[in-house]
Amino acid sequence: MDLRPYLASGAAEAATAGLLDYQPFILSDDIQTGVAHSWLFADDPRVAPKLVFRRQDCTLERWQAVTDANRRLRAMYDDLLDEVAARFPGGTLLDIACNNGYFPVGAELRGMKAAGLDLGDRTDSFAFLNGALGTKARFLPVGYDSGSHALPVDEKFDVTVMTAIMCHLPDPLHFLAAASAITNKAILFWGQVVNTDSTIVCYSKPHPNLSYPAEFPNGFNDNTRISLGMFKEAARLLGFSEVVKIAPRPTWIMELFRPRGVDLESELNGISSHVALLLVR
Ligand SMILES: C[S@@+](CC[C@H](N)C(=O)[O-])C[C@H]1O[C@@H](n2cnc3c(N)ncnc32)[C@H](O)[C@@H]1O
């Protein structure tokens, strides 16, 4: 999201305060945030990814790469938000694991009424974005609890969003069930799926940088993927009538994903891919 038209001042202070970091925002001509560059170029993007970029600290080449990577992530998020807002105009939306609040404020800008929840406290970034954009997105300070499979939310939403979160959870099917229980109309998913119609769940080994060490089996926090076949079967069993694959566009970040050489990525290459799915009731 390009915040330049909305920020008369305060961009540098917001960046310094770390109000925005993981998601792709342009704060000023010289300050951008977002994880996309680390996804593409860090040795292991899970280990201390760089998230806030100042032009003065970058070579021209690096600044261009940062700009392109985060532009692609923004393009994808914005296209997904456009799709949801067009299908469910004026509806309600909850983003599970909302991080800085890109989806909730983006949904509000498109005429929806939105909230987000996250394990981390994002109160300040929501206040900052709402203040700058004139939106009223709510932050719910709760997380999904894999130990009890509980999503402590006592209201229902037309659309729930789950982007880049199932990959960190040990119990993806329980998570889907919990999200379904608070969803009136549709779930938007973005992340990796295993490309088969067989019903498969697979995990990488627990990654020490991703979350606190949890007791077996709740420590499986990395690269959790279910297959497309499992998505379709889970959706059917949860009362969704169709699973719509939102066609990826050449402007999206996935165009630049590539195998990282040995181990995980080569294991996944050709087996798994990132997809955007809409499960519709
Ligand atoms: C990879 S980021 C994805 C953020 C956002 N959904 C996106 O796509 O830009 C993962 C986010 O999930 C949050 N998170 C991790 N485990 C969670 C849980 N059990 N419940 C709620 N949020 C969680 C983290 O705090 C982080 O903000």
In sequence order, what are the residues at sequence separation of 6 or more whose Cβ sits closer than 8 angstroms to the Cβ of residue 120?
Answer: 99
- Ligand 1 neighbourhood includes 152 CB (under 6 angstroms): no
Check residue 261 and give its pLDDT.
42
Residue 19 lies in a domain: no
- Ligand 1 neighbourhood includes 141 CB (under 6 angstroms): no
Residue among 118, 212, 223 to mutate when testing ligand 1 (max atoms within 8 A of CB): 118
Residue 251 lies in a domain: yes
Compute the distance from residue 194 Cα to the ligand 1 centre, in Å. Answer: 21
Helix, strand, coil tally for the chain in percent (to 5) = 35, 20, 40
Cα distances from 83 to residues 51, 80, 141, 159, 195, in angstroms, run: 27, 5, 27, 12, 23
Expressed as residue numbers, the domain containing 273 is 76-280
User: How many domains does one find in the chain?
Assistant: 1
- Ligand 1 neighbourhood includes 63 CB (under 6 angstroms): no
Residue 176 lies in a domain: yes
Residue 64 lies in a domain: no
Residue 256 lies in a domain: yes
**Which helix (H) or strand (E) element contains residue 39?**
helix 36-41
pLDDT by residue, tens only, the chain of 281 residues? 999 999 877 777 777 778 899 999 999 999 999 999 998 887 777 777 889 999 999 999 999 999 999 999 999 999 999 999 999 999 999 999 999 999 999 999 999 999 999 999 999 999 999 999 999 999 999 999 999 999 999 999 999 999 999 999 999 999 999 999 999 999 999 999 988 899 999 988 888 787 766 789 998 988 899 999 999 999 999 999 999 999 999 999 887 776 554 344 445 556 788 899 999 99
Compute the distance from residue 61 Cα to the ligand 1 centre, in Å. Answer: 30
Residue 48 lies in a domain: no
**Which helix (H) or strand (E) element contains residue 232?**
helix 228-237
- Ligand 1 neighbourhood includes 70 CB (under 6 angstroms): no
What are the two backbone dihedrals, phi and then psi, of residue 122, each rounded to the nearest 5 degrees?
-110, 20
The Cα diameter of the chain in Å comes to 53
What one-letter code names the amino acid at 173? L
157-163 and 52-54 strand pairing: unpaired
Residue 54 lies in a domain: no
Closest C-alpha to ligand 1, atom 11: 97
- Tokens 């420590």 identify what position? 219
Residue 222 lies in a domain: yes
Position in ligand 1 atom list of the atom nearest CA 99: 27
Which residues lie across from 264 on neighbouring strands?
none
- Tokens 């040990």 identify what position? 170
Check residue 213 and give its pLDDT.
65
- Ligand 1 neighbourhood includes 143 CB (under 6 angstroms): yes
Give the closest residue to 48 by CA, choosing from 208, 209, 265, 164: 209
Q: What is the CATH classification number for the domain harbouring 154?
A: 3.40.50.150
Position in ligand 1 atom list of the atom nearest CA 35: 9
Task: Measure the CA–CA gap between 228 and 124, rounded to whole angstroms.
Answer: 37
Measured torsion, CA atoms of residues 16, 128, 71, 278, in degrees rounded to the nearest 10: 140
Residue among 165, 187, 254 to mutate when testing ligand 1 (max atoms within 8 A of CB): 165
Does residue 32 contact residue 53 with C-beta atoms inside 8 Å? yes
- Ligand 1 neighbourhood includes 99 CB (under 6 angstroms): yes
- Ligand 1 neighbourhood includes 45 CB (under 6 angstroms): no
Task: Measure the CA–CA gap between 245 and 243, rounded to whole angstroms.
Answer: 6
Instruction: Convert the pLDDT of each residue in 97-113 to its tens digit.
Output: 999 999 999 999 999 99
What are the two backbone dihedrals, phi and then psi, of residue 210, each rounded to the nearest 5 degrees?
-95, -35
